[in-house]
Amino acid sequence: MTRYALSLLLGYFVGSLPTAYLLVKWKTRLDIRKTGSGNVGAMNTFEVTGSKLLGAIVMLLDLLKGVAAVGLSWMLVGEEFWIIGIGGLGSIIGHTYPIWLKFKGGRGLSTAAGMMLVLGWIFVVVWCTLWTVVYVTSKNIHASNITASMITPVVIAVTPTDLVRVTLPLFIGANNFIYLSIILCLLLLLGHREPIAELLKSFNKKNL
């Protein structure tokens, strides 16, 4: 259990690095948590600064946090799948609830992408495909994020095991990857609590 806890803490502190907060503060002197949507992520960075470049840099840095958390857990803690996976999940928790910003962070999407590009890129392909389909029909970013996060584990679970396996490192079994995908998507949905509440409220109003 000690190694799992170490991996979780390592991933958490890597993920908690407040990249968007620091870059927006440097560029505009504004606190991103109190500006725009209040989300400490790439999209709000772009909305607050008006800079596509800065938004892209934040997205890349947040993605690299997921990559780094997995890599460091692998090198420093152990090569067991769940030790590495927990390190990646820790980075999502750290990004969403960073201790440095009083636990108010981003939603973890870019960091999750970085994590899964290392552990199994099929997750990123499926998630982005679903996101695109929903966005084309709804033009709603939050609805796209939420729907993709809800359905991705289901799609991976029904995908033929041999197809899933060829996208994974050799030490990861397909079943373990499905379980990891479910936990990851639950964390992403937890980070979308407010948008989910807003969408439900809007839906209820339309059906009154």
User: Do 10 and 39 fall within a single domain?
Assistant: yes
Give the residue from 117, 144, 166 where a domain finishes.
117
User: Which pTM does this prediction carry?
Assistant: 0.92
Q: How far is CA 178 from CA 1, 23, 29, 59, 174, in A?
A: 22, 35, 42, 25, 6
User: Do 112 and 133 fall within a single domain?
Assistant: no
Q: Residue 18 and residue 101: Cα distance in Å, rounded?
A: 8
pLDDT tens, residue by residue, 112-136: 999 999 999 999 999 999 999 999 9
Give the residue from 117, 134, 156 where a domain finishes.
117
Q: Residue 110 and residue 51: Cα distance in Å, rounded?
A: 18
User: Do 7 and 103 fall within a single domain?
Assistant: yes
User: Do 93 and 130 fall within a single domain?
Assistant: no
- Categorize the per-residue pLDDT at 205 as very low, low, confident or very high, splitting at 50, 70 and 90: low
Residue range of the domain that includes 76: 1-117
pLDDT tens, residue by residue, 35-57: 888 889 999 999 999 999 999 99
